[in-house]
Amino acid sequence: MTEQNNTTNTGPERLDFIRQIVAEDCKTGKWGGRVHTRFPPEPNGYLHIGHAKSICLNFGIAAEFGGKCNLRFDDTNPCKEEQEYVDSIIYDVHWLGWDWQDRLYFGSDYFEQMYQWAVELIKKGKAFVCDLTPEQIREYRGTLTEPGRESPWRNRSSEENLDLFARMRAGEFPDGSRTLRAKIDMSHPNINMRDPVMYRILHATHHRTGDTWCIYPMYDWAHGLEDSIEGITHSICTLEFENHRPLYDWFLDELGIHHPQQIEFARLNLTYTVMSKRKLLRLVREKFVRGWDDPRMPTISGLRRRGFSPESIRNFCKVIGVNKFNSTVDYALLEHCVRDDLNRTSPRVMAVLRPLKVVLTNYPEGQVEWTEAVNNPEDPAAGTRKVPFSKVLYIEQDDFMETPPKKFFRLAPGREVRLRYAYFIRCEQVIKDAEGNIVELHCTYDPATRGGNAPDGRKVKATLHWVAAEHALDAEVRLYEHLFTKEDPDQTEEGQDFSANINPDSLQVLTGCKVEPSLKTTRPLDRWQFERLGYFCTDSDSRDGRLVFNRTVTLKDTWAKIQKNQ
RNA sequence: UGGGGUAUAGUGUAACGGUAGCACGACUGACUCUGGAUCAGUUAGUCGGGGUUCGAAUCCCUGUACCCCAGCCA
């Protein structure tokens, strides 16, 4: 913990409401000064930016308070969970920069202990085997406004319950035929307390325990026990579990075991995207995207492939804060965070996405000059590199207009601009094809402006990026827009769902792009700034001789804004 | 209409009875070999109505709105 400097007016570090609780607990010694959190994903899908919020909260709090944070898989439902998801989650949490040392746990490792505790509750007369069908259980539960009715099986002797429960475990009964239920209160206003199911019979193969179990614990029963076993102090979860806290508390108190404090916070919502695993699964299954790691997905793997850095995601999670009320964060804030980080860390490079050929009529045929370019103006240590310059070049089509409107100060007939790190050039002639399309520009360069400055002190209003034709590498560049056309994808017409709001133009593939030769050896996940265009990331489809880049995010573009407002 | 939560600029958040602050966005301007970055500035807020108090975003009362809960999902 750093010493507070009272001479500055920055004030004390502001703590969110969860950190306030943790800080208070440390002060009062509630847990003996211990802070132990956990991130408990269910391995039934890929992690997304919303999980990152939880990950940063749990691992962040542990780190800040000198505590520990476990990675624990909440794998109590064999029907939905897969090893593939376990692997991806481990990879993603690590990639985000967090470490759990040797504390990688699985709820399924505690199945035997859970079973023993269930037996204990049965013996206490606090749990019973119920023979009601799923439909009957629903009927007996009552409704939000009416109390439920007690199961006719509620008052079996503990001997009978013990025997039946053992036989459930032994696999004597078919799926769905019986459950183990807690005996609480069928008229409780909180429906979760109306004799909730603790175990269901499921003859399913579990991704870790195989076929050793045919009864599986329900979340409400299992989760608190997992936290208790691991000695968790602060069990941080999302808002929808607030209604379950009384049950969480009830189980731990009845058992008289270590009782962590559950604290709930609001999950993250982001504009122009969906966050529920169910919807993300649909996007993948119904091929709206190319997979879990499609760069348009809000998954960690998608963001990684898109070019987001772990630092930018962690910083995003810090600036959005944490609260108890639902809110939707503007996607622009995520973009701000990634630009902020990439601006400082990304090497600059020149790439032309939509090439327009430029011939310098007064430049010597066959001559090549290697001009020195700065790799990162924000980081002098990044050094410089040499970029080839010659008679035939490519510039961006957007950087030339035959009849330029007001405020357009790039290249136009008769106008002079600077080619970055090279020369001033002047447009002398526009060459068109039979249809009148501009296919080539004839320009002259001023040899006196070598390096990019005029000895006579004359100024140009624009600096253009460029690539020498003969040295250029071909590349494919994938441009992305929001996956949905609406800020809230769930806002739909009657009878439609979020898929109706999918943006048909969310992916645009550009081929025949020209990039500078230094990019020849780039490897997947390398991050770049293409000067004046944006931040780009070498895609995993990229290989020697076939370069593929993803646009992470554009640079802030004043000219685009002017155009849009016209 | 049962229970549990929550309301602060366009958006995300601070304030813990004492000047409503920060960030993003938007809009100006300066600077610039990236129309980037940077810098300076502008914009705009306490859900409504009562009360308590010298003083209320904060405490009390009362409305209103939104979210969650009736899986043998988590």
pLDDT tens-digit profile of A295-350? 999 999 999 999 999 999 999 999 999 999 999 999 999 999 999 999 999 999 99
Beta bridge partners of A464: A419
CA atoms of A372 and A87, how far apart (whole Å): 44
**Residue A10 carries which DSSP code?**
S
Give the active site residue among A30, A34, A42, A440.
A42
Judge whether A42 counts as a catalytic residue: yes
pLDDT of residue A75: 98
Q: With 0-12 CB in 10 A as exposed, 13-18 as middle and 19+ as buried, what is A309? A: buried
* Distance from CA(A245) to C1'(B53), angstroms, rounded: 38
Q: Determine contact, residues A217/A229, Cβ cutoff 8 Å.
A: no
Which domains are seen in chain A, by residue range? 1-267 (3.40.50.620), 351-465 (2.40.240.10)
CA atoms of A533 and A510, how far apart (whole Å): 14
Q: What's the sign of the alpha-carbon dihedral A130, A131, A133, A136?
A: negative
Q: CA of A144: how far to CAs of A147, A190, A307, A519, in Å?
A: 8, 8, 47, 62
Q: Measuring from the CA of residue A199 to each C1', which nucleotide is nearest? A: B72
pLDDT of residue A46: 97
3-state helix, strand, coil in chain A (%, to 5): 30, 25, 45
Task: Give φ, ψ of A355 to 5 degrees.
Answer: -70, 140
Judge whether A287 counts as a catalytic residue: no
CA atoms of A129 and A168, how far apart (whole Å): 9
Q: With 0-12 CB in 10 A as exposed, 13-18 as middle and 19+ as buried, what is A138? A: exposed
Task: Give φ, ψ of A104 to 5 degrees.
Answer: -100, 115
Q: Does ipTM come in above 0.85?
A: yes
CA atoms of A153 and A166, how far apart (whole Å): 17
DSSP string, A305-360: HHT--HHHHHHHHHHT---SS--EE-HHHHHHHHHHHHHHHPPEE-EESSEEEEEE
Judge whether A267 counts as a catalytic residue: yes
CA atoms of A85 and A327, how far apart (whole Å): 28
Amino acid at A114: M
The residue among A294, A300, A244 whose CA lies nearest residue A268 is A300
Minimum-distance residue to B38 (CA–C1'): A378
pLDDT of residue A2: 31
Give the active site residue among A34, A103, A208, A267.
A267
pLDDT of residue A472: 98
pLDDT of residue A344: 98
CA A450 from centre of chain: 45
CA A126 from centre of chain: 42
CA atoms of A388 and A367, how far apart (whole Å): 10
* Distance from CA(A91) to C1'(B46), angstroms, rounded: 43
* Distance from CA(A324) to C1'(B60), angstroms, rounded: 23
Enumerate the nucleotides of strand B whose atoms come under 7 Å of any protein CB: 1-8, 10-16, 23-27, 33-38, 66-74
What the block records as the tokens of A188 is 């409780």
pLDDT of residue A14: 81
Beta bridge partners of A393: A358, A468
What the block records as the tokens of A505 is 């133009």
| Segment holding A119, helix H or strand E | helix A111-123
**Residue A202 carries which DSSP code?**
-
Q: Measuring from the CA of residue A201 to each C1', which nucleotide is nearest? A: B72
CA atoms of A503 and A489, how far apart (whole Å): 10
Give the active site residue among A169, A183, A200, A277.
A277
CB-CB neighbours of A322 under 10 Å: 20
* Distance from CA(A166) to C1'(B71), angstroms, rounded: 24
CA atoms of A112 and A221, how far apart (whole Å): 13
Q: With 0-12 CB in 10 A as exposed, 13-18 as middle and 19+ as buried, what is A180? A: buried
Q: Measuring from the CA of residue A141 to each C1', which nucleotide is nearest? A: B70
- What is the reported pTM? 0.96
pLDDT of residue A495: 85
Residue with the two structure tokens 């790799």: A375
Residue with the two structure tokens 């376990």: A86
pLDDT of residue A8: 29
Task: Give φ, ψ of A403 to 5 degrees.
Answer: -125, 85
CA atoms of A267 and A51, how far apart (whole Å): 9
* Distance from CA(A272) to C1'(B21), angstroms, rounded: 29
Residues in chain A with pLDDT values less than 50: 1-12
What the block records as the tokens of A549 is 């880049």
Q: Measuring from the CA of residue A264 to each C1', which nucleotide is nearest? A: B5
Q: Determine contact, residues A268/A320, Cβ cutoff 8 Å.
A: yes
